[in-house]
Structure 1
Amino acid sequence: MAAERLAETCDVIETRGSLRILGVPLQEDKSLSISGCKRFVFGRESNKSNYTMMVVGGTGAGKSSLINSLFNYISAVEWNHPFRFKIVVEDQSSSQVDSQTSEVVIYQINPRDGFRINYPLTVIDTPGYGDSRGLLRDKETTDQIRRLFTEACGVSEVHAICFVAQSSLVRLTPSQKYIFDSLLSIFGKDVAENIRILVTFADGTDCFVLDAIKAAQIPCSKSEDGHVLYFEFNNAAMFTAIKSKDKGFGFMFWELGLKNMDLLLDNLTRTNPKSLTLSVEVLKERRHLEYLVEELQKQVKTGLQKLEEIKNTEEELKDKEAEINRNKDYEIPVSYTEVKEELPEPGYYITNCQDCHYTCHATCQIADDQKKHGCVAMKSDGTCNVCPKKCHWTKHFNQKYKWVYVTVTKKQTMEDLKKKYLDASQAKAPVEMLMDKLRQEYNQQEQQVNDIVKQATSALNRLKQIALKPTGLSTLEYIDLLIQSEKNEHKPGWNK
């Protein structure tokens, strides 16, 4: 009766034969002020203990359909009911290789009388990894999850982290390995026992994906007999129109889903919640490491430019030393590194130091200048770790452009070079003394690179201690695996 009463309050969003698909009325919680996250509430909130499950997986794994099936189970929908409910409504205009969910969505389900559960349930739906929009979209997803974990109005603990995977995966392809690595890299080591494997597109036969999960050494909870703890579902059965009185395979899959939903929620209520404190530290450390890698690339490039500048200037000075000493107005071509403004791709905030004219963080997530002390470029004492003068965070602001450094060549006289590099007491210094000054500049640049390498090493060591997956699959490793996969499978065009 509970399902019928709810159906009377819902609108029809589509029909499949005689089956009506109903959109469940949800109330959006406007108090959740986390960028990239939304919260919807069903029913009246109660004082009973709440259980939280987070649903993660690759694009197309069936996460949203699984959540819809979960709600139908909770609301006591039966096989012979002429309707089904949806709380997650997919965008029909999106490609199948795009994640249907672009935001982290929290569903707070407060049961009514007659429902199959009597406790509040929070379900966190996340965007799929491995989206066709590329690695930047996946990075954005990780940032959304990080904000959900760290903001005061977000989520601080979970009972289960549900990894959704398709039953038919005999082995993990490079893309699948990348997806699992990306997901595991979010969490701390302490959540391993709270990971549950949810197998979709199950047909009641062997779940090949379990062998792939074992082979990939993916940490997850084990049953009492030591096997991977998993639950099977076939979401298609939930929304298949009943064409005849013959129940057939559809009913068999329906029963399979009901049984596993019952097992999953029973397991959930017997699981102790896990604080996300360590996972927050993992995300913070990983974000810091990503920033250090970006900064290292920039500093190495600057250092190489400086080295080339020194080399060219030194060769010119030595070749023309005699003539230069005779003629103070003799001009030589000198390479310089100059700064200019560049408009980047949209999507990030650019943290620039106003005193140094230096971009300290080109992919910052902090929109408010008054909160720049939280930027990963800032040290605990409030000073910047990047800009040349190590300025205070209050000297840093978001701007629409970033500062980039380019090498230009200009002709200068020996007298100009002396004024630039030597003080008045060295006005008659030889060429070698001038070169010493240039080398000092390079050594300073080299020291900056070494400092960043030390910080990156420290971050990696910390991740090894606390992260479920210390080092995820790098972009280059991912591309290498894709190339190797193409060679192995010999698909058309593999040798191109």
Structure 2
Amino acid sequence: MALDQVDGVGFHSELTQTQQVYDGLSSCLQDIKDNIYIMATFADAKSPPVLNALEDANVHYAGFYKFNNSALFASNKGKDESQDSDSDDEESTYICKLFWEMGYRSMTNFFMKLGKTFPASLTLTKQVLEERNHLQLVVIGLQNQIQLGLTKLSNLNQERDMLARLDDDIVGSANHTEVVEVPEIIKIDLNTKEHVTNCIKCNMTCHYPCYIPKDEDKAGCWAMSEQHCRICPGKCYWDIHKNMGFRFDTKWNKEQRTVQELLDRYEKAQKGKLTKESIILSIEQDINEHANKVLDMIREAQKHVEHLDDIALKPNPLSTKEYIELMIESEKMQKRHNFGKRIQMLQKIKDEVSVFQGVRGNFRNHSGEGLLKYFQDLMIQ
């Protein structure tokens, strides 16, 4: 796997080695200074002395973060567990706690800053990198919406098959039930330093994490294109997108649905007498409508992929899917703490990469129906 962009470079330890790396990167990249971070180890409450040395050496950096890892080697025994501890031990424990909290704050601030930093491209122009970041947002939104759409299609097909199995007297079968998967929109609270772009009309999260906290500036969010959102289904205007203290997510629940509920849903749309054939016809119309929506989302991704290839210095950058698979296998072999959660996260990333590669590799060679089958196989497990 080749490196195609630099999100951040963290320097610590000896200045001579640090400057050699810095000089090497500077010779390759023009704007690397915005991606340089100083990790000041063995730090205390004062400003790290290394900053003066960096200034004298003309090393530019985006920020510095203080760490003192002596807390990692402190005893976990508290005052109640160690009655023989003297005042020196108590003072040492207090200092280690301060160092730990300092490192925790520094690491939190570092990742918040890193998320706001524009990557320095090694193989792409700035225009391509911006377009690729936009495409990644579209793909993430695409994956969620396709899953919703395909689940809806699956439920509609299930309802159609259920009616086909029943007698013509559907009213007499009103209490017949089937189990279906139903999406539920839930809210997940954010911490105070996180921001989000939520569409208040579509009730969905269009960009998370977002680094534009003010609602009046949401036109500049990466999810927006020409004043409209490219993520939410309604492609809504930017000013109905807000920063809130939560993000939307989808939870899937299994529910029992009766034939009567199906009749109630289609009764208003049909003026005449409800028959099994008329309801099946209405369901098939809904199926076609939702299938077209899914295909429209795939075509939206195609537009971005084709434009990306047109402007790329090196079109079709190397895939990361195989690398992610190796990481998953490594986690399975090593079985370190919480390896199961890391595997789940890696698998989710791999699925998103699979969508991206599927869009890139299949659009030029398959019909819309073939692509729909591709995404059905990918999303419906």
Alpha-carbon separation, structure 2, partners of 1:411 and 1:482 = 40
User: Of 36, 41, 48, which aligns to 1:92?
Assistant: 41
Would the alpha carbon gap of residues 145 and 65 (structure 1) be closer, same or farther in structure 2, given more than 3 Å must change?
farther
- Structure 1 unaligned blocks of 5 or more: 1-54, 73-86, 95-104, 116-120, 128-136, 147-181, 189-278
**Counterpart selection for 2:301 from 456, 479, 486:** 456
Residue 301 of structure 1 corresponds to 147
Pair 1:449–1:312, CA change in 2 (3 A): closer
1:215: which partner in 2? none
8 A Cα contact 1:309 1:334, kept in partner: no
User: 3-state DSSP class of the match of 1:429?
Assistant: coil
- Give the corresponding residue for 2:261: 416
Maintained 8 Å contact 1:299/1:445: no
Residue 250 of structure 1: aligned partner: none
Residue 93 of structure 1 and its aligned partner are, at CA, apart by 5.5
Q: Which residue of 2 aligns with 1:426?
A: 271
Q: Distance in 2 between matches of 1:126 and 1:446?
A: 49
Q: 1:435 aligns with which of 270, 280, 294?
A: 280
> Equivalents in 1 of 2:112, 2:156: separation in Å?
38
Which of 106, 114, 118 is residue 145 of structure 1 equivalent to?
118
Amino acid at match of 2:323: Y
Between structures 1 and 2, the one with greater strand share = 1
Residue 368 of structure 1: CA displacement? 1.6
Q: Is the 8 A contact 1:350 1:398 kept in 2?
A: yes
SS of the equivalent of 2:177 reads strand
Match of 2:367?
A: none
CA distance in structure 2 between the aligned counterparts of 1:122 and 1:406, rounded to whole angstroms: 48
Residues 458 and 401 (structure 1 numbering): CA distance in 2 closer, same or farther, change over 3 Å? same
Q: How does 1:154-193 map to 2 (within 5 A)?
A: 183-185=121-123, 187-188=124-125
Equivalent residues of 1:353, 1:397 under 8 A apart: yes
Residue type of the partner of 2:322?
E
2:136 is equivalent to residue 290 of structure 1: yes
Distance in structure 1 (CA, Å) of the matches to 2:115 and 2:312: 15
Q: Measure how far apart 1:337 and its partner are.
A: 2.9
1:62 deviates by: 8.8
- 1:192-237, Cα deviation, whole Å (9 max, x unpaired): xxxxxxxxxxxxxxxxxxxxxxxxxxxxxxxxxxxxxxxxxxxxxx
Q: Separation in 2 of the partners of 1:323 and 1:403?
A: 42
Q: TM-score, with normalisation over the residues of structure 1? A: 0.43
If the length of structure 2 is used for normalisation, what is the TM-score? 0.54
Structure 2 vs 1, CA of residues 322 and 475 (structure 1 numbering), >3 Å: closer, same or farther? same
Inter-CA distance 439–351: structure 2 relative to 1 (3 Å threshold): farther
Q: Which residue of 1 aligns with 2:219?
A: 373
Give secondary structure in 2 for the equivalent of 1:416.
helix
Decide whether the 8 Å contact of 2:138 with 2:301 is kept in 1.
yes
2:204 is matched with which residue?
A: 358
| Pair 1:477–1:367, CA change in 2 (3 A) | farther
The question of 1:333 aligning with 2:178 is answered yes
| Cα 1:59/1:483, change in 2 over 3 Å | farther
How many percent of aligned residue pairs carry the same amino acid?
26
The one-letter code sitting in structure 1 at the alignment partner of 2:154 is E
- Offset from partner CA, 1:114-134 (integer Å, 9 cap, x none): x9xxxxx7845699xxxxxxx
Secondary structure of 2:274's match?
Answer: coil
- The change in CA–CA distance for 1:124 and 1:66 in structure 2 (over 3 A counts) is farther
Q: Which moved more, 1:292-301 or 1:59-68?
A: 59-68
Q: Secondary structure at the match of 1:399?
A: coil
Matched residue SS, 2:219? helix
Q: CA offsets, 1:416-465, max 9 Å, x none? A: 32332343543523223323333444434333333333333333333334
Aligned with residue 321 of structure 1, among 167, 192, 199: 167
Q: Distance in 2 between matches of 1:462 and 1:332?
A: 48
Once the two structures are superposed, what CA deviation does each residue of 1:43-65 show, in whole Å capped at 9, x if it has no partner? xxxxxxxxxxxx99866799964
Alignment partner, residue 341 of structure 2: none
Query: For the residues of structure 1 that align with 2:305 and 2:60, how far apart are their CA atoms?
Result: 32
Partner of 1:20: none
Quick check: 1:316–1:332 contact (8 Å CA) kept in 2?
no
Could you say what the CA RMSD is over the residues aligned between the two structures, in angstroms? 4.5
Q: Select the residue among 375, 393, 402 that pairs with 2:238.
A: 393
Amino acid at match of 2:206: C
Which residue in the other structure is 1:476 paired with? 321
**What is the SS of the residue equivalent to 2:198?**
strand
Q: Distance in 2 between matches of 1:374 and 1:477?
A: 34
Whose helix fraction is larger, Structure 1's or Structure 2's?
2
Cα deviation code 1:216-259 (max 9, x no counterpart):
xxxxxxxxxxxxxxxxxxxxxxxxxxxxxxxxxxxxxxxxxxxx
Contact kept? 1:366, 1:375, Cα under 8 Å: yes
- Residues 400-425 of structure 1 deviation map (CA, whole Å, 9 limit, x = unaligned): 33333344344455443233234354
Who wins on radius of gyration, i.e. which is larger? 1
Whether the aligned pair in 2 keeps the contact of 1:331 and 1:411 (CA below 8 Å) is no
The answer (yes or no) to whether the contact 2:146–2:297 under 8 Å persists in 1 is no
CA distance in 2, matches of 1:456, 1:349: 25
- Cα distance between partner residues in 1 of 2:290 and 2:222: 21
The total of aligned residue pairs comes to 262
Query: 2: distance between equivalents of 1:307 and 1:65?
Result: 62
Any conservation in 2 of the 1:383–1:391 contact (CA below 8 Å)?
yes
Q: 1:446 is matched by which residue type in structure 2? A: A
Q: Return the alpha-carbon distance in structure 2 between the equivalents of residues 470 and 138 of structure 1.
A: 30
Q: Tell me the amino acid that sits aligned with residue 235 of structure 2.
A: K
